[in-house]
Structure 1
């Protein structure tokens, strides 16, 4: 049986499309009938007709065998061509650092695409209360004449107007907070991808950690603290704790554990490539690192001038 290349040459010879269609098959059969030996009492007119007959017959058999496959070239042939082409191409393999950077950027992109405005519960609750109080003010007569509501609500009183005003004010403030924190989180997420920002994060961690060795969990805890909680709570003293709890329960977290983990991986990989740290064999689940590869190192002098 002929192959794909021979079939392509043959269809071109008869001005046919190079495809496995019924139209091509019918035209090939028509050409075959013109040189069929039955037309001349079972004998070919000459060798040329005989060769043409067998050629067309093999082409029809090849078309029938590949009728379900609409590719012009069989998959096996394409596979071999791709393999040969790949071998001729220069080796542009992706480095581990590029891979880690890609994972970080993918995690950040995924978070931004699926983000929603935070403080959902307080926003919706205050918006609902504002709507209810506004409806009461819009229809005071119905409230005053209601057998139950008239004992609890007086839309015409100054106290009710004050409550309504405060509710509107709090609603506006909480919605403003929600969108401002969303903008802040997006800004932080975009900054994490920058090499200069990563360098500042790394040097900040080394400067604050102040020990010769550290674990990966130490770095991730630092990143979580500096990227999430510090930008939120700048108050000192008694107000800091309740505000931290408030954000923890009501804010929509954009800096997910995946982003924090990916950031830590990129920082550690860059630091090791610059020989700022060495990975220690501790036999524990948490990864341990030593500053500058020297277990006796003290302080952070090796890192303040290092660029990760």
Structure 2
């Protein structure tokens, strides 16, 4: 019996490493020494030994080939499993990236809206403050000196009011922006998303729901704080920064996780909106 490919190559004086080429050459030797060539009997003992050696070598080569095929199949199976396992993670990563992009866009729009009034009030306050800090500049200008009296109690009241109003306005806008930033950051937390889904299930009270049902619920409740969901402490009223795109992103993330954890099943229904059935949640 042969125990290695090298042993076979040396035995039959073969140089190639290709199993098929080695097999063909050995098979040719087996055919040449087959007993059928001599009416069912070997020509001599040498011919018999060559036939038996060739036959054993071919059996060994077939075994190697079978094992190689099994290895390839196993590797392909492992590869398919790896790719299959990566697909949910890749999808989840894509959904989270989309949510982050839309959140950043919403925050950018909010900062842009608050920028003009903050600059306007700050500029007016700065001009009036300049009048009081540098009154000689007014006196040296005949036009300004004619219209502006830096010693006027009215101008003093306006200046103080502007300082107070401008300070409170900056605090209000900055506070609103910070709350919005915190709110949108909360939306990326898995436990918060789970709580949103739990509130939706309690509100919906039906084992069947569509993607649009969940998306509309998220948009309507988080934006306008309607029906006071249990997670409302996370989301202040009139959260206009939560647009439809953000609600859709959160909806898709929740559904993707629910499908992965086998909480819901997709229902095969011909409809524009995907429909799902609650599987094991309550």
Q: TM-score, normalised by structure 2?
A: 0.53
Alignment of 1:84-123 (within 5 A): 90=79, 91-93=81-83, 94-110=85-101, 116=108, 118=111, 119-123=114-118
Q: Does 1:222 align with 2:217?
A: yes
CA contact (8 A) 1:213 1:288 kept: no
Question: Where does structure 1 differ by over 6 angstroms across 4 or more consecutive aligned residues?
Answer: 86-89
The structure with higher relative contact order (CA 8 Å, sep 6+) is 1
Which of 163, 172, 176 in structure 1 is aligned with 2:158? 163
Structure 2 distance, partners of 1:232, 1:266, is: 19
1:55-89 CA-partner distances (Å, limit 9, x unpaired): xxxxxxxxxxxxxxxxxxxxxxxxxxxxxxx9697
Residue deviations 1:254-281 (CA, integer Å, cap 9, x gap): x565443221101122334424354452
Instruction: Look up the match of 1:172.
Output: 167
For the pair shown, the structure with the greater C-alpha radius of gyration is: 2
Q: What is the SS of the residue equivalent to 1:92?
A: helix
Q: Distance in 2 between matches of 1:141 and 1:195?
A: 62
Which position in structure 2 is the counterpart of 1:42? none
Determine the structure 2 residue equivalent to 1:292: 278
1:188 equivalent among 183, 191, 200: 183
Gaps of 5+ in 1: 1-85, 235-243, 294-301
Secondary structure of the residue that 1:171 maps to in structure 2?
Answer: helix
Partner residue of 1:276 out of 264, 274, 277: 264
Shift of 1:95: 4.3
2-side partners of 1:263 and 1:144: how far apart? 62
Once the two structures are TM-superposed, the CA of residue 219 in structure 1 deviates from its matched residue by 2.4
Task: Measure, in 1, the Cα distance between the counterparts of 2:146 and 2:236.
Answer: 43
Q: Given the superposition, is the C-alpha separation of residues 152 and 215 from structure 1 closer, same or farther in structure 2, using an over 3 Å criterion? A: farther
2:254 corresponding residue in structure 1: 267
User: Is the 1:130–1:171 Cα contact (8 Å) retained in structure 2?
Assistant: yes
Specify which structure has the higher proportion of helix. 2
The count of aligned residue pairs is 193
Question: Is contact 2:99-2:250 (8 Å) kept?
Answer: no
